[in-house]
Amino acid sequence: MTQWTRFGAVIALAAVIHAAPVAAQAKPAAKPAAKPAAGGAAGGEIALGDSLFHGAGNCYACHGAKAEGAIGPNLTDAEWIHSKGSQTEIAAQITHGVTKEQSKSGIVMPPKGGGTLTDDQVKAIAAYVYSLSHKS
Ligand code: HEC
């Protein structure tokens, strides 16, 4: 990351911290479901993960509405910084977040995106995120 994008990210992060609670409330999260993962995750679980990603999980605030990357990295490509990108690893990542020590950019990810998600909700979000980079 260049100095400039890093600076931009910090500004954006500050904006997110102020905007996130409002955005989370204002957004009912109705988006069409992504294609089911090739691995066979149930379409319903992916659709649930999609709405949580754009709602209670707050993921969109840092990773972008299309998970294309913003403050947090792009989740739609084949490049994974912290794991090999399996669905199980993604679920663990969501549960634990990314500490300052682990973070490549120096920006932290709070566990469960800073929200309160059940294990099943974490699993659903992981299925959705996995599906983004495994479209058939
Ligand atoms: C406050 C901002 C923030 C929120 C909210 C957030 N993330 Fe993150 N996320 C990050 C940052 C920052 C990183 C990686 C930091 C680094 O290493 O540079 C990251 C990393 C990740 C990774 C690992 C990516 C890789 O390439 O290995 C996954 C997967 C992920 N986030 C998913 C999610 C999901 C799903 C949610 C919602 C439950 C979420 N994040 C919420 C900021 C956020």
In order of their start, the domains of the chain are 3-132 (1.10.760.10)
Q: Is 119 exposed, middle or buried (0-12, 13-18, 19+ CB in 10 A)?
A: exposed
Out of 98, 100, 122, give the residue to mutate to test ligand 1, the one with the largest number of ligand atoms within 8 Å of its CB. Answer: 98
Q: What is the pLDDT of residues 95-131, one digit of tens each?
A: 999 999 999 999 999 999 999 999 999 999 999 999 9
Exposed e or buried b for every residue in 30-46, given b needs 16+ CB within 10 A?
Answer: ebebbebbeeebeeebb
Structure confidence at residue 24 (pLDDT)? 46
Between the CA of 113 and the centroid of ligand 1 the distance, in Å, is 7
% the chain with pLDDT above 90: 67
State the average pLDDT for the chain: 82
Atom of ligand 1 nearest to the CA of 105: 18
Q: Candidates 10, 16, 62, 134: which one to mutate for ligand 1, based on the most atoms within 8 Å of Cβ?
A: 62
Q: What percent of the chain has pLDDT over 70?
A: 69
Reported as a single tens digit per residue, the pLDDT across 14-35 is 444 444 444 444 445 455 555 5
Q: Which of 80, 109, 130, 93 is nearest to 16 (CA)?
A: 109
Q: Which two tokens stand for residue 7?
A: 């600076």
Please choose, from the candidates 50, 31, 30, the residue with its C-alpha nearest in 3D space to the C-alpha of residue 127.
50
pLDDT at 125: 98
- Token output for 116: 């309160």
